[in-house]
Amino acid sequence: MTRHLLFLTGTRADFGKLEPLAAAARDAGHAVTFFVTGMHMMDRYGLTKLEVQRMPGVRVHEFLNQRPGDGQDIVLAKTVVGFSDFITEHKPDLIVLHGDRIEALAGALVAATNYIPSAHIEGGEVSGTIDEVFRHCNTKLATHHFVSSEAAARRVMTLGEPAETIHVIGSPELDFHAGPSGVSLAEVRARYDIPFAEYGIAVFHPVTSEQASMGAQAQALFGALEASGRNFVVIAPNNDPGSDQIFAVLNGLPKDRFRLIPSMRFAHFSELMKHAACMVGNSSAGVREAPFLGLPSLDVGTRQTNRAMAASVAFADAGDGAAVARFLTEHWGKRHPRDSGFGEGRAADRFAQTLARPEFWAQGLQKAFRDQDNG
């Protein structure tokens, strides 16, 4: 039976994870719509709504959920109102949301209060920030759970979710990294005006609970990268509180050695990662995608605390310039065996197979806490 799946996306990062799943659902005959909001709608971050619009065979609805300076509570409230209006009119059979962003929390709340089935992607993971709280809230609100690992599945069960609602599929973005990107490195460098033949990638996002110190952290980290004498492609931070302080540091970096890019198409970012010398910062890509590609990465600060333990990942505080320098000296240009801790690149197939099961759609909407000792 054909169903209507509504995917909620608020950032370039979660679209990279949702796109393979949406494509698999579309190819299986389901109707697919994207509700596009958040960073996608903002010029400062590359107006990435255009990436969603390029996806063939899906419908797209755009909603502006914030103005500069809005707090997360205001963004949550606006998104709840806009998303609720949309689902009331379009009545999806399943709402699909990802991770731990404020937009996903809004979608999970709307789905639960309107008794619409929802599928949460990549629940059960840990980090060191308020994002983890949002992620676990989404788990409790969602009716279905598509997780990236057995460890994540166990955590979702610890939160009282029934085992029959949990499906281990791996991280969806690895589906794309597992194959050819479809573009060459020369095309990537030309499109984004990257002058370096050898480069590292740096991505440093704000940590909302450490907003007051984000400028100092960014100054210390990028000061250490500058002191190394090496070249870096820098992807702009997301729009969480504290991003302005990070941008102030990035805008002061020497442009002959740091290429600042607001956002990249996923295919181009994948190819960029495959040829990088290392990755530095606090993006989830550094602890999930980089190990899958065998790329050495330095996880900086608390944003990804306890997220992954791959052998290719090193750790440092933002202010520990000696540790940053040591990582660049010892790991620059080295490769590691592929780490499959977050999957093997088959998430979309597993997602579609689960949707094809009648029992998936027969799952009741009345939730009850399932104690672990009760199975």
State the average pLDDT over residues 298-313: 86
Q: How far apart are CA 367 and CA 373, in angstroms?
A: 18
Backbone phi, then psi, for 114, in 5-degree steps? -105, 5
Q: How far apart are CA 210 and CA 221, in angstroms?
A: 15
| Closest-CA residue to 302 (of 319, 290, 288) | 319
Two tokens at 145? 């759970």
Q: How confident is the model at residue 96 (pLDDT cuts 50, 70, 90)?
A: very high
Outline where 46-101 has alpha helix (H).
49-53, 72-90
338 to 141, 143, 282, 344, 345: CA distances (angstroms) = 34, 33, 20, 9, 12
Q: How far apart are CA 75 and CA 241, in angstroms?
A: 12
Beta-carbon contacts of residue 181 (< 8 Å; ≥ 6 apart): 267, 268, 270, 271, 274
Strands laid side by side in the 59-62 sheet: 59-62, 31-36, 4-9, 94-98, 118-121, 144-147, 166-168
Residue 374 above 70 pLDDT?
Answer: no
Alpha carbons within 13 angstroms on the beta-carbon side of residue 189 total: 12
226 to 55, 311, 338: CA distances (angstroms) = 38, 26, 29
Q: How far apart are CA 278 and CA 187, in angstroms?
A: 20
Alpha carbons within 13 angstroms on the beta-carbon side of residue 132 total: 17
Alpha carbons within 13 angstroms on the beta-carbon side of residue 269 total: 24
Chain mean pLDDT for the chain = 94
Residue type at 236 in one-letter notation: A
Lowest mean pLDDT, pick from 65-74, 95-104, 106-115, 293-302: 65-74
- For 192-230, the pLDDT digits (tens) are 999 999 999 999 999 988 989 999 999 999 999 999 999
Outline where the chain has alpha helix (H).
12-27, 49-53, 72-90, 102-113, 130-141, 150-158, 173-177, 185-191, 214-227, 243-250, 266-274, 289-293, 321-331, 347-355, 358-362
Q: How far apart are CA 58 and CA 305, in angstroms?
A: 36
Let me know how long the chain is.
Answer: 375
- For 330-362, the pLDDT digits (tens) are 999 999 999 998 999 999 999 999 999 999 999
Coil, strand or helix at 279: strand
Two tokens at 133? 């709280």
Strands laid side by side in the 313-316 sheet: 258-261, 232-235, 200-203, 279-281, 297-300, 313-316
State the average pLDDT over residues 18-36: 97
What pLDDT sits at residue 128?
A: 67
Higher pLDDT, 63 or 309: 63
State the average pLDDT over residues 105-119: 98
Backbone phi, then psi, for 121, in 5-degree steps? -95, 130
Burial 39-50 (b: 16+ CB within 10 A, else e): bbbbeebbebbe
Q: How confident is the model at residue 303 (pLDDT cuts 50, 70, 90)?
A: confident
* Ordered structural domains, the chain, with CATH: 4-177+344-374 (3.40.50.2000), 185-331 (3.40.50.2000)
